[in-house]
């Protein structure tokens, strides 16, 4: 059973995770360690301290992955972006620390994917791809052993959700009066072109038909006020359609609540005697 937890990242997702874990855990963990950016440790300790105190008896903030490994976590959870996966996760895996990541789009880089797999093998542990903002990965992963004929994922978001991305150079986000498809291509290309928005595409692709065989459509739609994820699978074993309307965190509109709860599930599945 998990008693020592590490979290990579000290942003909004981590704050929300700690609030949920504080309510969900039957009792405090032995240790919680959070990896903060260099020079930010004191500020993070102050910001997260109250919530962390409800999660673990011993709360520590560290500023390098070596110090995080030294806390001897049973599980590490990444909630800090693609760069954090590249910079910190290989060392955790090589040290034998099972690691669950939210930023699955990082694996669209084939060199990094190979490096992570090699690190997990060397450490005798696992890299876990959390489902993040989407669901239905159980049936999709099961169908990956069947003859999958097509997987199509459509990401529909309000125009403002695409601000700061390549979409700004393709369409007038502020002037849209109707839904506009601005990207259609493979999941690998989507993850490369929209790294902060395509984790769901990567999650679906890696669970199912792969990054090259998963078709992704991205839509800016002024008629919606939430992120809508739809994927359709056709295989010789089943046909599946899943639609999820994700809700943002009240504290930070850029934080997906389903992603928070997905990471919490990874923790709870390692402290509970029955796993679902």
Provide DSSP, 150-219: EEEEEEEE-GGGGTTSGGGGTS-GGG--S-EEEEEEEHHHHHHH-TTT-HHHHHHHHHTT-TTTEEEEEE
> What local confidence, expressed as pLDDT, does residue 78 receive?
98
User: Where does the pLDDT of residue 230 fall: very low under 50, low under 70, confident under 90, or very high at 90 and above?
Assistant: very high
> What local confidence, expressed as pLDDT, does residue 251 receive?
72
> What local confidence, expressed as pLDDT, does residue 249 receive?
81
Strand partners, 62: 35
> What local confidence, expressed as pLDDT, does residue 90 receive?
98
Residue 98 near residue 76, CB atoms below 8 Å: yes
- Burial class of residue 217 in the structure, from the number of CB atoms within 10 Å of its CB (0-12 exposed, 13-18 middle, 19+ buried): middle
> What local confidence, expressed as pLDDT, does residue 38 receive?
96
Taking residues 198-205, report their average pLDDT: 94
For 81, list phi and psi in degrees, rounded to 5: 105, 170
Kindly report the average pLDDT of the chain as a whole number: 95
* DSSP, res 274: S
> What local confidence, expressed as pLDDT, does residue 170 receive?
96
Q: How many CA atoms lie within 13 A of 207 on its CB side?
A: 27
User: Where does the pLDDT of residue 196 fall: very low under 50, low under 70, confident under 90, or very high at 90 and above?
Assistant: confident
In the chain, CATH 3.30.360.10 covers 137-246
> What local confidence, expressed as pLDDT, does residue 2 receive?
97
Residue 12 near residue 255, CB atoms below 8 Å: yes
> What local confidence, expressed as pLDDT, does residue 200 receive?
94
> What local confidence, expressed as pLDDT, does residue 53 receive?
96
In the chain, CATH 3.40.50.720 covers 4-132+257-268
Read off the pTM: 0.94
Which residue in 69, 11, 17 sits closest to 267, CA to CA? Answer: 17
Handedness of CA 225, 79, 101, 250 (dihedral sign): negative
Which residue in 260, 261, 232, 257 sits closest to 246, CA to CA? Answer: 257
Residue 252 clears pLDDT 90, i.e. is over it: no
**What does the pLDDT look like over 63-116, one tens digit per residue?**
999 999 999 999 999 999 999 999 999 999 999 999 999 999 999 999 999 999
Taking residues 148-176, report their average pLDDT: 95
User: Is 227 annotated as ligand-binding?
Assistant: no
Residue 254 clears pLDDT 80, i.e. is over it: no
User: Where does the pLDDT of residue 45 fall: very low under 50, low under 70, confident under 90, or very high at 90 and above?
Assistant: very high
Catalytic residues: 229
What token pair was written down for 174?
A: 């502020």
Residue 256 clears pLDDT 90, i.e. is over it: no
> Which CATH number is associated with domain 137-246?
3.30.360.10
Please give the residue that has the higher pLDDT: either 250 or 50. 50
> What local confidence, expressed as pLDDT, does residue 195 receive?
85
Which residue intervals of the chain are DSSP H helices?
Answer: 12-24, 41-52, 65-70, 82-94, 110-123, 137-143, 187-193, 199-207, 257-268
User: Is 133 annotated as ligand-binding?
Assistant: yes
Taking residues 232-241, report their average pLDDT: 98
Tell me if residue 30 falls in helix, strand or coil. Answer: strand
> What local confidence, expressed as pLDDT, does residue 197 receive?
84
Residue 92 near residue 115, CB atoms below 8 Å: no
Pick the CATH number of 4-132+257-268 from 3.40.50.720, 3.40.50.11400, 3.40.50.2300, 3.30.460.10: 3.40.50.720
Tokens 């704050």 locate to 15
Of the ranges 87-101, 129-143, 187-201, which one carries the lowest mean pLDDT score? Answer: 187-201
> What local confidence, expressed as pLDDT, does residue 118 receive?
98
- The residues, ordered by sequence, that sit 6+ positions from 259 with a Cβ below 8 Å of its Cβ are 13, 102, 130, 132, 133
> What local confidence, expressed as pLDDT, does residue 192 receive?
87
- Cα(83)–Cα(27) distance, integer angstroms: 33
């Amino acid at each position: 059973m998990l008693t020592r937890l590490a979290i990579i990242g000290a942003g909004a997702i981590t704050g929300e995770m700690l609030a949920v874990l504080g309510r969900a855990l039957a009792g405090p963990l032995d240790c919680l360690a959070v990896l903060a950016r260099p020079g930010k440790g004191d500020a993070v300790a102050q910001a997260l301290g109250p919530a962390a105190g409800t999660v673990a008896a011993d709360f520590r903030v560290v500023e390098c992955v070596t110090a995080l490994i030294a806390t001897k976590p049973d599980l590490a959870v990444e909630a800090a972006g693609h760069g954090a996966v590249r910079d910190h996760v290989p060392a955790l895996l090589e040290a034998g620390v099972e690691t669950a990541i939210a930023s699955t789009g990082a694996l669209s880089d084939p060199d990094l994917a190979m490096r992570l797999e090699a690190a997990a093998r060397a450490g005798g542990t696992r890299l876990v791809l959390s489902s993040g903002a989407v669901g239905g990965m159980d049936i999709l992963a099961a169908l990956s052993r069947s003859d999958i004929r097509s997987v199509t994922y459509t990401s529909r978001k309000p125009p403002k959700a695409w601000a700061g991305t390549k979409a700004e150079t393709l369409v007038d986000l502020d002037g849209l009066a109707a839904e506009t498809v601005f990207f259609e291509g493979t999941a690998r290309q989507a993850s490369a072109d929209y790294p902060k928005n395509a984790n769901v595409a990567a999650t679906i692709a890696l669970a199912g038909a792969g990054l090259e065989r998963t078709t992704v459509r991205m839509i800016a739609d002024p008629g919606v006020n939430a992120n809508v994820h739809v994927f359709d699978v056709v295989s010789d074993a089943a046909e599946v359609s899943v639609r999820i309307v994700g809700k943002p965190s009240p504290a930070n509109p850029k934080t997906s609540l389903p992603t928070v709860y997905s990471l919490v599930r990874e923790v709870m599945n390692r402290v509970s005697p029955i796993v679902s």
